[in-house]
């Protein structure tokens, strides 16, 4: 089963400074472990919400709006695509990833199973 882990941050509570070397090393270790276990299919961080573009469809009309989006408090900051035997395994990997951030960060991960082709 494949799972998408959407990494969500609250832009109003995220530390202003860049992550320190210890945190990056801890996150790197989790990513290395995911890779060695054959669980990690893909991962990436996302550019800031200020660089985003939203496209909406309402009443048959498309609207294209470039960021920044001032109403955005919680944003998706990155993702992982995992191959896991179960949802419990995806939860375990997500938990390890979050724990690597330490006590100064408030981060959520939303885990969603991907529909597999028929």
pLDDT at residue 70 greater than cutoff 70: no
The domain of 23 spans 2-113
d(CA 118, CA 111): 22
Q: Check residue 101 and report its DSSP letter.
A: T
Q: State percent of the chain over pLDDT 90.
A: 58
Q: What burial letters (b/e) apply to 56-94, b meaning 16+ CB within 10 Å? A: eeeeeeeeeeeeeeeeeeebebebbebebeeeebbeebb
Tokens of 59: 């009443």
48 part of a folded domain? yes
Across the beta sheet with 107-113, the strand order is 40-45, 74-83, 2-10, 107-113
Indicate whether 59 belongs to any domain.
Answer: yes
pLDDT tier at 71, thresholds 50, 70, 90: low
Q: Is residue 118 part of a domain?
A: no
Number of domains in the chain: 1
Mean pLDDT of 71-92: 89
**CATH number of the CATH domain containing 52:** 3.30.70.1060
54 found inside a domain: yes
Query: Quick check: is 58 in a domain?
Result: yes
Asked, for residue 32, whether it belongs to a domain, the answer is: yes
pLDDT in tens, 7-62: 988 777 766 677 788 889 999 999 999 999 999 999 998 888 888 898 999 999 99
Query: Has residue 52 been placed in a domain?
Result: yes
Residue with tokens 């191959």: 83
């Amino acid at each position: 089963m494949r799972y998408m882990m959407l990494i969500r941050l609250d832009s109003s509570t995220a530390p202003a400074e860049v992550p320190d070397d210890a945190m990056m090393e801890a996150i790197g270790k989790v990513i290395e472990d995911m890779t060695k276990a054959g669980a990690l299919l893909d991962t990436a961080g996302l550019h800031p919400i200020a660089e985003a573009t939203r496209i909406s469809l309402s009443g048959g009309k498309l609207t294209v709006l470039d960021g920044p989006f001032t109403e955005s408090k919680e944003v998706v900051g990155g993702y992982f695509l995992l191959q896991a035997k179960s949802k419990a395994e995806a939860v375990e990997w997500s938990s390890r990833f979050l724990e690597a951030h330490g006590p100064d960060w408030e981060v959520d991960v939303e885990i969603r199973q991907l529909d597999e082709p028929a």
